[in-house]
Amino acid sequence: MNYSDEEKNLINKYKNKVTDQIQKEKEINKEIKNYEKIINKLKRKKAACKGQQTKSKKLINNIVCKKFIEDCPSDIISLILKNLYNQELSKSTSIYSKCIINKLYKVSKKFRTIICEVFNFIKIIKYGYPQILLIPFQSNFGRKFESDLLEQLLYIPFTKNTRSLIHLFVRNNKLKIMESLVSKFNNLNINVPTKVDGWLPIHNALWFNNSLVEFLTNLGIKDDWNFQNGKISKFDDIYHYIGWLYIFKKNNGLVNLENFKQNVKDNKYKIELQSKIDYEYLINYEQDTVNLISKIYEYLNEDIRNITKFEIL
C-alpha cells in the first residue's frame, strides 16, 4: 500500500504513542506492586496487632477465671455446671460432641472435685487412643444416680436383639471389663435375659467359647432357663444347649460337661444374691440418660475389639 507522507507521519506518531503508553503501563504496574507490598506489610502489622489483642484478652480471661475458680463458692459452681450441662444436653446428638463439662474437668482440681460430686461418668479407654473419653450424665432431677440405679443401666435392652451392655461385653470376651463391673457392683446380675429370645450372657459365652464361661459360672448362672435361638431351635436348659453346640459347631473342646455341672451346682446359691433386674423406672423417668446409654452402646459396638476399659462412675 502506498501512503502519503502525511499518513506515514501520523502512523509513526501513533506508534510512538503506543510505545510510550506501554512504557508508562509498565512503570504504573511497578508502582502498583510496590504499593501492594506496602499494603501487605501493613496488613501483617494489623493482623499482629489483633493477635496481640486476642492474646492479651486470653491472658486477662485466664487471670479472671482463675480468681473466679479460687473465690467462687462450690454450690454456685455446681449450679453453673448443671446449667451448662442442660444446654449441652439439649443440642447434643452424639457422644462425640465436645462437652464443656469435659473441658472444665481438665481445668483445675477444684473443678474436678465439684464435677465428680455433681455428675456420674462413663469412662471409656480405647486401644491406640491417648485420650480417655469421659461422658458426664445426671438424673432429670439434677443430681447423681445412686449405685443401684447405675447398675440398672447395664441391664437395659438395646438393639433389635434387645442385648444389654452385659451381653455386649460377654459376647466380645471382655473379661477385664466384666471383672471391673463385678468389682464395683458386688451383686451384679449376670443372668439378664434378652427380651427377644431369652438369651443369658452365659449363652453368649458358650456360643463364642470364650474365657468368660468359667467367670460367669463362678458368679452363679441359671442352668434351667428356657430360651431359643431365633426360629431355629428352642432349649429347655443350658445342657440341652451345650449338646446342640457340640453337634452344630462341632466343637468337642467346648467345656468339660461334668466339671461344668459341678461348678454350676456349687455356685447356684449366688443367684439369689444377685440384684433384681428392674430398669422400668429409668425407661419411664430418665429417658435422656437411657438415650445416652443407647448412643454409648452403639459407640462401643462399632469398635468393641479396641475398647480396653469401661467404667460407670
pLDDT tens by residue, 264-273: 999 999 999 9
Domain spans, the chain: 7-67, 74-123+130-136, 157-278
> So what's the pLDDT on residue 87?
65
* Segment 38-47, tens digit of pLDDT: 888 888 888 8
> So what's the pLDDT on residue 91?
58
Task: Tell whether pTM > 0.85.
Answer: no
**Region 12-38: what's the mean pLDDT?**
87
How far apart, in Å, are the Cα atoms of 298 and each of 28, 168, 295? 65, 10, 5
Q: What is the mean pLDDT of the chain?
A: 84
118 pLDDT tier (thresholds 50, 70, 90)? confident
> So what's the pLDDT on residue 229?
75
> So what's the pLDDT on residue 196?
83
Report whether pLDDT(78) > 70: yes
> So what's the pLDDT on residue 193?
92
> So what's the pLDDT on residue 151?
94
> So what's the pLDDT on residue 139?
84
Report whether pLDDT(257) > 60: yes
Kindly state the percentage of the chain with pLDDT values over 90: 30
Comparing 35-39, 71-75, 89-93, 224-228, the range with the smallest average pLDDT is 89-93
> So what's the pLDDT on residue 247?
80
Q: What CATH number does domain 157-278 carry, 3.40.718.10, 1.25.40.20, 3.40.50.261, 3.40.50.720?
A: 1.25.40.20
**Region 248-266: what's the mean pLDDT?**
80
**Cell match 468393641: residue?**
304
> So what's the pLDDT on residue 89?
58
Report whether pLDDT(160) > 70: yes
**Region 208-212: what's the mean pLDDT?**
84
> So what's the pLDDT on residue 311?
93
**Pairwise pLDDT comparison (249 vs 150), residue with the higher score:** 150
Neighbouring residues of 98: CB distance < 8 A, sequence distance ≥ 6: none
Neighbouring residues of 3: CB distance < 8 A, sequence distance ≥ 6: 11
CA distance 73 to 313: 25
